[in-house]
Structure 1
Amino acid sequence: MRASQATRTVAGKRTPPTADGAPRTEWRNWAGNQRADDVQVVAPRTVDELARTVADLADAGRGVRPIGTGHSFTAIGVPHDVQLRLDHLDAITAVDLERAQVTVEAGIRLSVLNRALETLGLGLTNLGDIEEQTLAGAISTGTHGTGLRFGGLATQVCALELVLADGSRLTCSAQENPDVFAAARVGLGALGVLATVTLQAEPAFAVRAREGGGRLDETIERFDHDAATHDHVEFYWFPHTRSVLTKHNTRVALDADRPPALSRRRAWWDDDFLSNTVFGAVVGAGRRVPPLVRPLARVSASALGDREFSDVSHRVFTSPRRVRFEEMEYAVPREHGMAVLRELVRRVEASRWRIAVPVEVRVAAADDITLSTATGRDTVYVAVHTAPGSPDRDAYFAALEGIAGEVGGRPHWGKLHGLDAATLRERYPRFEDFLALRDRLDPGRTFGNSHLERVLG
């Protein structure tokens, strides 16, 4: 159905087709821990239709919650009334090869965007470790990769177009509406709906990957040095062991002398079969028979193998994730990162918890985005995970939250945490600026939900 067919007229007013009398559906996020059972869905096919739809719903007093692919673990995407999907807004609308900039509709999935950029001879400077999110969702929640010289995905945004609650369209950049630009790059979907985004890409490049097993204490001791001397560094600690998997990734030119890419069979074996099928079986066994978790963790850690390869950047930065889990991630000042991890290790070792999923540690550069977890400071990210329904989740997550809180840690906006606006206000220097902007752009809270009420007040 085209845009001209996607609205109907009621009493002389153009009204979204799902505003009245439309079938209702249920919604679940990727992890399955957030749900809504009585949801109306609108999915505009053009930006113009998006603007009309938002305005009509707001005029009718309807709440609107934009959603991407549901990869957030928090209730940030849970709709109370109408769910706004941008699935049809997934086109590249402009390309400037000379400046390596692309403008895209914000509903495009990162997987589609990465491959489109590759055909243009371009690539994004940095990415998170999955690519199934929509661009709007990834930007709005502060998705990031790793690398001390590189910021999160939102730092690669050089302009955006926001649809406001009254249906107006606001263009924002460092030169045009800079106050909105500073906030809307990690806007939580609370200011308006991201319609289009202009990204600063760069000429396509390859990444040389070196991965292998290591010892926890040694990895902690050299982490600051490794982060300062390698482009992209991260590691995974296997609870109930002293073993880690380290990743040291170096940016290289596409035509540089470098190791070959993994064969299709090796890539499938390592990144699909072992990382998803086998790991999923391990997690599942631990859920059915909890005493197996600790011995299986030791088996998983001992199975780590070294490998070195290279490939186009997005194929190294991202990998498939099909094993369901629940996650909390805290951003702490870089200088406190390893102390936070050491204390977490101590708590796990002193507990009776059974943790089947590794802890992930990454690093990122400071930025100037109002609600970015890295605003104003170089940041170490510590992420903890459990199998869905784990009886140890609450105590384990509370431990990280308390440890990180001692050093002013900020929770990832898309991952589980227990903080509210009163505490978050203390963690973000410009928190009040964001609230004032929200009052100006969405005074009627068209884009609100209960989660935003908790974290923003």
Structure 2
Amino acid sequence: MTRPGGTWTNWGRTESVRPARVEYPATPDAVRRSVLAARTRGLPVKAVGAGHSFSGIAVAPGVLLDLSDLTGLVRVDRERRLATFRAGTRLHRIPKLLAPYGLAMANLGDIDRQSISGAISTGTHGTGAAFGGIATQVAGVTLVTGEGEFLTVDDTENADLLPAVALGLGALGILVEVTLRLVPAFVLHAVEHPEPIDDVVATFADRAAASDHVEFYWFPHTDVGLLKTNTRLPESAVRHPLPRVAKFLDEELLSNGVFTAVCALGRAVPAITPPLSRLAAKVTGRREYTDASTAVFTQHRGVRFREMEYAVPAERLAEAFDAVRALIDERRYRVSFPIEVRIAASDDLWLSTASGRATGYIAVHRYWRENPATYFEPIEELLRTFDGRPHWGKMHTRTADDLRPAYPRFDDFTALRDRLDPDRVFRNRYLRRVLGE
């Protein structure tokens, strides 16, 4: 993020823009005034959180609203397990805010640098066959519409709109408050170990059904998968966290420091990428520990990368993953980043990648200094044949014309957009591409 007059660039260095104005609203009323002023000037306005989306969803060519000051806990209903946050609150700050109340978010992804509004608006998710994405935890929102009006959506007001605004792509309004449905604080027992990738793929559906949270990583050019399983335990369970030195060695020195050097070396000399991947698979060890849920779900990612992720029907996940493996071998790609595979429950959110179906996710990554197109685009074309849906916050090339058939409520969403933002105050090039004019 930059001060007025500078250039905004996202974390993955895939998008940048020099906005006409940059504003830092600290209250919902300040957001409303910004939207009204932008309308008067004929400028589009977009809210920006942490900039962790790889797509152009947050690019703000007109007025950029930096929500860094619109943060904090507004209120808690302990009995109903609800908490309301200002929209710019970062996910990594939420555990400390909830700790006095003995509450926690039900599920998280593996990165927690995003703002809560950005995470839900792009469809950020974790893993677990019984758990939906973060947006499924939303019990209500308050937003500013394109006409500069406050709109509250919860179980008592405009409840029929919640499946749309909980995952709204920033197209329906500027979120100013988000109310989450929470669970009692809990801990996770984590088990991580390598296995032959063929065994992992063959048993993944059964493991997903039997486990609270499960995912795996595959190192291209190897026959090894890293399987990660998390079991939920009550908050009172005895904790055995990773020793501080071991955690530093695994997550900072190896996963970030050494891996950065490996990626840079592989970019300079692509031919050595396969042996480096095989070495990485060999040094990936077994870990078992128990800690607070957020300490297990999330990790620090210091290596800058670019990402594309596709959602496919859960029953086709193994077939789709095997097809990706075959494509990498056929094209002889040199890939230093592991491929990540997760799973999520079906939900009823209109533009959720898991809308109406249990879903498996395949995420591919590229070191940020490498051009991802020659790798991402053929995989995207392949995963589209599996009825794949792209993650809204990650790189993809899809357009409104071919996205419409993938989402039964797509036209309902665009009709609501016409109602809440008839003048397209929240427009940008990305939304024009994925939703139409």
Contact 1:238 1:359 in 2 (8 A): yes
Partner Cα distance (1:193, 1:288) in 2 = 43
Partner Cα distance (1:313, 1:42) in 2 = 35
User: What amino acid is aligned across from residue 414 of structure 2 in structure 1?
Assistant: L
Partner Cα distance (1:175, 1:212) in 2 = 47
Cα distance, 1:37 vs. partner?
3.1
- What are the Cα deviations for residues 169-191 of structure 1, in whole angstroms up to 9, with x where unaligned? 11002442133211111101011
Quick one: structure 1 residues 380 and 41, their matched pair in 2 at CA, closer, same or farther if it must change by over 3 Å?
same
Quick one: structure 1 residues 37 and 179, their matched pair in 2 at CA, closer, same or farther if it must change by over 3 Å?
same
Aligned to 2:311: 331
Contact 1:27 1:39 in 2 (8 A): no
Partner Cα distance (1:267, 1:355) in 2 = 26
- 348, 352, 366: which is aligned to 2:332? 352
Partner Cα distance (1:262, 1:101) in 2 = 31
Aligned to 2:149: 168
Aligned to 1:195: 176
Contact 1:211 1:247 in 2 (8 A): yes
Partner Cα distance (2:363, 2:173) in 1 = 29
Aligned to 1:183: 164
Contact 2:153 2:162 in 1 (8 A): yes
Q: Secondary structure at the match of 1:76?
A: coil
Q: How does 1:377-456 map to 2 (within 5 A)?
A: 377-391=357-371, 393-456=372-435
Aligned to 1:340: 320
Residues 1:364 and 2:335 are matched in the alignment: no
Partner Cα distance (2:369, 2:25) in 1 = 35
Partner Cα distance (1:53, 1:420) in 2 = 30
- What are the Cα deviations for residues 382-440 of structure 1, in whole angstroms up to 9, with x where unaligned? 0000112424x223212221222112110000001111000000100000000000001
Aligned to 1:129: 110
Contact 2:147 2:420 in 1 (8 A): no
Partner Cα distance (1:427, 1:23) in 2 = 39
Residues 25-34 or 37-46, more deviating:
37-46
Q: How does 1:10-409 map to 2 (within 5 A)?
A: 23-257=4-238, 260-391=240-371, 393-409=372-388
User: What amino acid is aligned across from residue 24 of structure 2 in structure 1?
Assistant: A
Partner Cα distance (1:423, 1:389) in 2 = 30
Partner Cα distance (1:160, 1:269) in 2 = 41
Residues 267-276 or 310-319, more deviating:
267-276
Contact 1:26 1:39 in 2 (8 A): no
What root-mean-square deviation, in Å, do the aligned CA atoms of Structure 1 and Structure 2 show? 1.3
Quick one: structure 1 residues 280 and 417, their matched pair in 2 at CA, closer, same or farther if it must change by over 3 Å?
same
Partner Cα distance (1:293, 1:198) in 2 = 45
Quick one: structure 1 residues 255 and 407, their matched pair in 2 at CA, closer, same or farther if it must change by over 3 Å?
same
Cα distance, 1:166 vs. partner?
2.1
Q: Secondary structure at the match of 2:18?
A: strand
Contact 1:239 1:359 in 2 (8 A): yes
Partner Cα distance (2:90, 2:129) in 1 = 26
Cα distance, 1:23 vs. partner?
4.3
So what's the TM-score if we normalise by structure 2? 0.97
- What are the Cα deviations for residues 332-370 of structure 1, in whole angstroms up to 9, with x where unaligned? 000111100000001111222110100000000000001
Contact 2:18 2:61 in 1 (8 A): no
So what's the TM-score if we normalise by structure 1? 0.93
Partner Cα distance (1:219, 1:56) in 2 = 55
Contact 2:91 2:113 in 1 (8 A): yes
Contact 2:123 2:352 in 1 (8 A): yes
User: What amino acid is aligned across from residue 5 of structure 2 in structure 1?
Assistant: R
Cα distance, 1:127 vs. partner?
0.3
User: What amino acid is aligned across from residue 311 of structure 2 in structure 1?
Assistant: A
User: What amino acid is aligned across from residue 269 of structure 1 in structure 2?
Assistant: L
Cα distance, 1:38 vs. partner?
4.5
- What are the Cα deviations for residues 297-345 of structure 1, in whole angstroms up to 9, with x where unaligned? 1111111100100100011000011101110000000011110000000
Partner Cα distance (2:433, 2:250) in 1 = 41
Cα distance, 1:67 vs. partner?
0.9
User: What amino acid is aligned across from residue 396 of structure 2 in structure 1?
Assistant: H
User: What amino acid is aligned across from residue 135 of structure 1 in structure 2?
Assistant: I
Partner Cα distance (1:31, 1:398) in 2 = 18
Partner Cα distance (2:312, 2:100) in 1 = 37
Partner Cα distance (2:157, 2:392) in 1 = 26
Partner Cα distance (1:336, 1:441) in 2 = 37
Q: Which sections of structure 2, spanning at least 5 residues, go unmatched?
A: none
Partner Cα distance (1:264, 1:23) in 2 = 41
- What are the Cα deviations for residues 133-156 of structure 1, in whole angstroms up to 9, with x where unaligned? 000100100000000000000000
Partner Cα distance (1:453, 1:212) in 2 = 44
User: What amino acid is aligned across from residue 339 of structure 1 in structure 2?
Assistant: E
Q: Secondary structure at the match of 1:422?
A: helix
User: What amino acid is aligned across from residue 156 of structure 1 in structure 2?
Assistant: Q
Aligned to 1:12: none
- What are the Cα deviations for residues 23-77 of structure 1, in whole angstroms up to 9, with x where unaligned? 4110110011111134421111111111112112112211101111110001111
Contact 2:19 2:64 in 1 (8 A): no
Residues 37-46 or 351-360, more deviating:
37-46
Contact 1:25 1:40 in 2 (8 A): no
Partner Cα distance (1:268, 1:143) in 2 = 27
Contact 1:45 1:88 in 2 (8 A): yes
Partner Cα distance (2:220, 2:7) in 1 = 36
Partner Cα distance (2:234, 2:416) in 1 = 42
Quick one: structure 1 residues 352 and 39, their matched pair in 2 at CA, closer, same or farther if it must change by over 3 Å?
farther
What percentage of residue pairs aligned between the two structures are identical?
A: 46
What is the count of residue pairs matched by the alignment? 434
User: What amino acid is aligned across from residue 288 of structure 2 in structure 1?
Assistant: E
Cα distance, 1:241 vs. partner?
0.7
Contact 1:236 1:359 in 2 (8 A): yes
Q: Secondary structure at the match of 2:426?
A: coil
